Structure 1
Amino acid sequence: MNMTHPALLLPAHRLSVVVPMYNEVENAAPLIDAVQAALASYPQPWELIVVDDGSRDATAATLRRHARTVGDHIRVVQLARNFRQTAAMQAGIDAATGDVIVTMDGDLQNDPRDIPRLVQRLLTEDLDIVAGWRHQRQDGFWLRKLPSQLANRLIRRITGLPFHDLGCSLKAFRADVLREVRLYGEMHRFIPAWLSTVTSPARMAEEPVEHFARTHGTSKYGLSRTLRVLVDLLAVTFFQRFAARPGHFFGVIGLAVGGLGLGILGYLGVLKLLGESIGGRPLLSLGFFCVIGGLQFLTTGVLAELLIRIYYGARHGQPYVVRRGAGDGDGA
């Protein structure tokens, strides 16, 4: 597809739109039609990659059948089983050929007509990510909006990233930056936080986007994901601050716990010298286990440092990322 859009003046690029879907048979064909209509006059080449995440209904068959009627720029990737949204999104990113990658949900709650605006801002303002912000979210307040608001507030405070809606899947990325990170588990909610480990938060922005109420299918989200979000947030925070120096994280904890144990044992030692019996005191057990725990944290830090050196060694010894086009000569 390469048609002229009079409202868009964009640098030359190729756009890939990645959409993971799971049991969305009623939304499969309408999703393809909606993206096709939104990008029919897009001024640059584009493709749509729909990833069927091991659906148990006819989603995959419907996607393949409808894609053949629309054109070769619609590609369907079918996973062998349900690997969940993060893995499906990573599969789509791996299959994408574009310089710019846009991700979005397959439930038709995101508006594909917002895609050109996000891409335009990404390229004209020289950003690495523009995230959608569902400022008028069409979801239930108690089950979806309130937990999301609380989670986003917590994530903003801990990560330091000024995003109001990290849960919005509609995002535009520079492909070379996005491919510097790999998504595992359920980390699709924290892509901006992961990207902050390879690019500056100054090159990130968010843009208000439309949001529609779900009309077909059932939501795959619920309150059960709240605890998973907290666990994922802990992992993201660790990698943000200590990815290149895990020994500092475990070492500080080890010194604090071990120091507390030594202080307790020292205090009990003085009491013993003064003639008091300390053998039956619970404080003795606490001091002993604190010393052992401190040693374990310290040795864990040493092992983590060894592992991180092996990891960076596999990346040719570079604990950094050079921006393409930002260097001089052949090293750019």
Structure 2
Amino acid sequence: MSKQLYLSVIIPIYNEEETILDLRNKLNDVLSPMGERYEIIFVDDGSTDKSFERLNKIKDDNVRIIQFQRNFGKSAALSCGFAAAKGEYLITMDGDLQDDPKEIPRFLDELTKYDMVSGWKFERHDPISKTIPSKFFNKLSRVLTDVHIHDFNCGFKGYRNCVVKNIKVYGELHRYIPALAYWRGYSVSEIKVEHHPRAHGTSKYGIERLLKGFLDLISVTFLVVYKKRPLHVFGSIGLLMGCSGVFICFYLLSLWFRGIKIGDRPLLMLGILLLIMSIQFISIGLIGELITNSRNNDDYIIKYDSYEPEKNH
């Protein structure tokens, strides 16, 4: 079994040929005092420029290069880096030089008190087309996830090793790693970080990220909050529809007793439809409960066990 290092720095790369060598030099200035106790993991996410060639020019035993067959996305790159990391602490950052490696010691200091630390680009040097939508989604994310940080989208983050080994990142859920960690019982903090204007290339994110971000927020909220209790969400909707349908039907029944025709009223069709949909939603919830409880998928994490003290964190 390989010896655990002190620090792993994970950097997803996608078409950043102009910045790679400069970034490596800046990282070297910050990390070289650690000697052999750190590693830098570059994950080339299917770049179509000369990024992989530039990475291969780095001759350093502390640097590990992983190349994807094609572009699989940032979540996949981070997940791969998490699996490969050997450090007690992990730092993730973007490869475009907008994140400053000089902030890494501050992350490490904060990680002595918290399980995860998220960066906050307090003075953000991005176009208004990115900053305004980002503020909206960050506020919405705080409300829905109950994680009170200001910048979910910031890629500059720090983790204890145990955090990344106990969360799953897939699809586009890298934005909501703080929420995933918080819901798994880990403490989450935030620090302000310096954010530099992009010196080379262009942003790899377009307007479609707004829709994806909103859908991912719904997905992560549903999967984490209701994964173990699907009947609560589907049953609640079903009961609301059922109560509305019963109210409508009793109202129409009272009219019928008074001799008023109800057979041609659209309200009758609505009441019947709500009752049918109520049964369907409750049935979906019950099926979800059966599937959930038939699997051995406990989500708890043991922090301390007196029987095996050497495994405790």
**TM class by smaller structure:** over 0.9
Distance (Å, rounded) in 2 between the aligned partners of 1:46 and 1:194: 26
Distance (Å, rounded) in 2 between the aligned partners of 1:303 and 1:108: 49
Give the drift of 1:50: 0.7
| Alignment check: 8 A CA contact 2:245 2:271 kept | yes
Q: Which residue of 1 aligns with 2:85?
A: 96
SS of the aligned residue for 1:214 comes to coil
Give the drift of 1:44: 6.7
Q: Which residue of 1 aligns with 2:20?
A: 28
1:264-283 deviations in Å (ceiling 9; x for gaps): 12222332333322222111
1:274-306 deviations in Å (ceiling 9; x for gaps): 332222211122112211211111111112212
In structure 2, give the amino acid aligned to 1:130: V
Are 2:245 and 1:261 aligned?
yes
Q: Residue 273 of structure 1: which of 257, 278, 287 is its match? A: 257
| Alignment check: 8 A CA contact 2:36 2:62 kept | no
In structure 2, give the amino acid aligned to 1:170: F
Are 2:6 and 1:14 aligned?
yes
1:157-203 deviations in Å (ceiling 9; x for gaps): 22221101111111110111222111111111110001112114xx2
Distance (Å, rounded) in 2 between the aligned partners of 1:307 and 1:178: 27
Give the drift of 1:13: 5.2
Q: Which residue of 2 aligns with 1:9?
A: none
Q: Residue 133 of structure 1: which of 120, 131, 134 is its match? A: 120
In structure 2, give the amino acid aligned to 1:87: A
In structure 2, give the amino acid aligned to 1:320: Y
Structure 1 residues not aligned, in runs of 5+: 1-11
1:239-318 alignment, distance < 5 Å: 239-311=223-295, 313=296, 315=297, 318=298
1:103-132 deviations in Å (ceiling 9; x for gaps): 111111001111122012202x2x110111
In structure 2, give the amino acid aligned to 1:161: V
1:149-188 alignment, distance < 5 Å: 149-188=135-174
Distance (Å, rounded) in 1 between the aligned partners of 2:227 and 2:88: 27
Q: How many residues align?
A: 307
Distance (Å, rounded) in 1 between the aligned partners of 2:69 and 2:270: 50
RMSD: 1.8
In structure 2, give the amino acid aligned to 1:139: D
Distance (Å, rounded) in 1 between the aligned partners of 2:35 and 2:20: 25
Give me the TM-score of the superposition, normalised by structure 1.
0.87
Distance (Å, rounded) in 2 between the aligned partners of 1:44 and 1:292: 66
Distance (Å, rounded) in 1 between the aligned partners of 2:51 and 2:148: 36
Q: Which residue of 2 aligns with 1:38?
A: 30
Distance (Å, rounded) in 2 between the aligned partners of 1:305 and 1:105: 40
Give the drift of 1:59: 1.2
